[in-house]
Each structure stands twice: as C-alpha cells, then as structure tokens.
C-alpha cells in the first residue's frame, strides 16, 4: 500500500538512462530489499523518511524531521521484517528504534525514547546499524554507548550482547563506535567497528 506521494516513472528513468532527478534522496544511507515485491527501501537521513525504489514512494516518515509519532529523526539504520511487513528503523538523531508497518501513518516503539539519550536497557545514544533474526529479535549497534543491544521479540528492554556500555577500547571485547551489525545463517554476530578500522565476528555458542 503506497501513500499519496507515490509517483510513477518512465522506463528510461527506471533503467537509469537520462535524468534521474525524479527521486530526491537526502543523505541516503541503508538499503534493504523487500523479498516479496523486490522493491528497495532506502533510509534518507537528511529527510527523516524511508523511500521505496524504484517506485519513489515515501513508505515511512516524510513529515519533516522530529521525534513525534509520525516523524523520523536522522534515520540511518534500516531493516525489513517480511513476516510483519514492517520497516524496522534506527533513528540516529532521535536515539530510538521504531517499527513502521507498510501502509501505516505512524510508528510504534521498539527500544529507546524518542529524543532522549541514555545508556540503560531502555535508552540508547546514537543507534545506527540494525538487523533482525528469523525469530523477530532485533539487534542494534548503539554507537555512542559502544555496544550491541539485543531486543527480544515482544520485549521492550534490551540486553547488551557485545561491547561494554560506555567503554571504548581496541581489544577483542570492546568497540570504538560500532556502526553496523549483521548476522549470518548461524546467527553469528558481525560488527563494523568504525574507529578500530575493523569488522569483528562474535561466534554464537
């Protein structure tokens, strides 16, 4: 279901030939694919929205940048829950993780409090990378707290599964600005550790 700002594009534009000015991307960041439709969803951190490509529809946010229930704030991290048909969005500037169902007009909270920074099981500071496992559990790189948070499906509190809250370092158990997080098929955890210039792998027991 597309919102009213969906637009249609010529085949030439679809294929990238000629002008590509039809879709404006302000600070495009994460890109994920909807496995059911093949559409890409792209977070645009400058615009407070998630845009669908190639349709050009705004599928989340798009109500200027902010922390209210219809807004996103510097969304960078993004993943897609195909079971719920929902975008899972990490608001870097809003310090919150939210769920936005396709076709919905607002988000529902996952973790963090929009507009509030902190370093607890319910507060975040600069969350960036976000991913989801097949059981619907959500993993987030809470960058300024130098940790990876796990929010079990249906829970509101997070558990720190990598890094130490508030502590930076370059050894095997610490991060210095964890930026991105992913899982492989065995649910081993991978983290882009920005200021340590490395990708770290954490084996699942």
Partner 1 sequence: MRRTFIQLNTYFSSILVFFSDRVAFLRWNPSGITIAGLGSGGNYSNHLYGPYGFTWDSNDTLYIVEIDFNRVTKWTPGAPRGTLVAGQANGMITNASNGFQYPVDIFLESNGDMYITNRMNSRLQFWANGASVGTTVAGS
Site residues (vs partner 1, CB under 8 A): 15-16, 20-33, 40, 42, 45-46, 53-54, 56, 76, 129, 135, 137, 150, 152, 154-155, 159, 161-162, 170, 172-173, 179-180, 182, 184, 187-194, 196-205
Q: Least Å distance between CB 86 and partner 1? A: 19
Q: Which residue, 115 or 141, has its beta carbon nearer to partner 1? A: 141
**Shortest gap between Cβ of 137 and partner 1 (angstroms)?**
7
* Residue 183 vs residues 47, 78, 138, 140: alpha-carbon distances, Å: 28, 14, 11, 11
Query: Which are the contacts of 175, defined by CB distance < 8 A and separation ≥ 6?
Result: 146, 147, 148, 162, 163, 168, 169, 191, 193, 196, 200
- Pick the closer one to partner 1 by CB: 69 or 199: 199
Both tokens assigned to 170: 């370059």
Cβ-contact 53, 44 below 8 angstroms = no
CB of 39 to partner 1, least distance (A): 12
> Of the two residues 4 and 172, which places its CB atom closer to partner 1 in the complex?
172
Shortest gap between Cβ of 106 and partner 1 (angstroms)?
25
As measured in angstroms, the least distance from the Cβ of 2 to partner 1 is 16
Give the SS3 label for residue 47. coil
Using the minimum distance from each CB to partner 1, give the nearer residue, 12 or 69: 12
Smallest gap, in angstroms, from Cβ of residue 148 to partner 1?
9
Give whichever of 69 and 159 is closer to partner 1, judged by the CB atom.
Answer: 159
Q: How far apart are CA 19 and CA 98, in angstroms?
A: 34
**Tokens describing residue 89:** 């969005």
Closer to partner 1 by CB, 13 or 68: give it. 13
Q: Computed from CA positions of residues 143, 139, 62, 29, in that sequence, does the dihedral angle turn out positive or negative?
A: positive
The distance of Cα 71 from the centroid of its chain, to the nearest Å, equals 14
d(CA 204, CA 21): 45
């Amino acid at each position: 279901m597309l919102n009213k700002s969906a637009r249609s594009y010529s085949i030439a534009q679809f294929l990238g030939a000629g002008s590509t000015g039809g879709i404006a991307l302000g600070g495009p960041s994460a890109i994920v694919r909807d496995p059911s439709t093949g559409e890409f969803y792209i977070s645009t951190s400058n615009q407070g929205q998630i845009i669908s490509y190639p349709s050009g529809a705004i599928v989340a946010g798009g109500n200027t940048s902010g922390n209210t229930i219809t807004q996103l704030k510097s969304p960078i991290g993004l993943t897609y829950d195909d079971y719920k048909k929902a975008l899972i969005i990490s608001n870097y500037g809003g310090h919150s993780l939210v769920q936005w169902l396709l076709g919905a007009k607002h988000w529902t909270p996952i973790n963090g409090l929009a507009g509030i920074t902190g370093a607890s099981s319910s507060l975040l500071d600069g969350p960036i990378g976000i991913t989801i496992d097949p059981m619907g559990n959500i993993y987030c790189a809470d960058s300024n707290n130098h940790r990876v948070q796990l929010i079990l499906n249906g829970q509101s509190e997070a558990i720190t599964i990598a890094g130490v809250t508030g502590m930076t370092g370059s050894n095997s158990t610490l991060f210095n600005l964890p930026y991105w997080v992913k899982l492989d098929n065995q649910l081993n955890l991978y983290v882009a550790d920005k200021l340590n210039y490395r990708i770290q792998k954490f084996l699942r027991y």
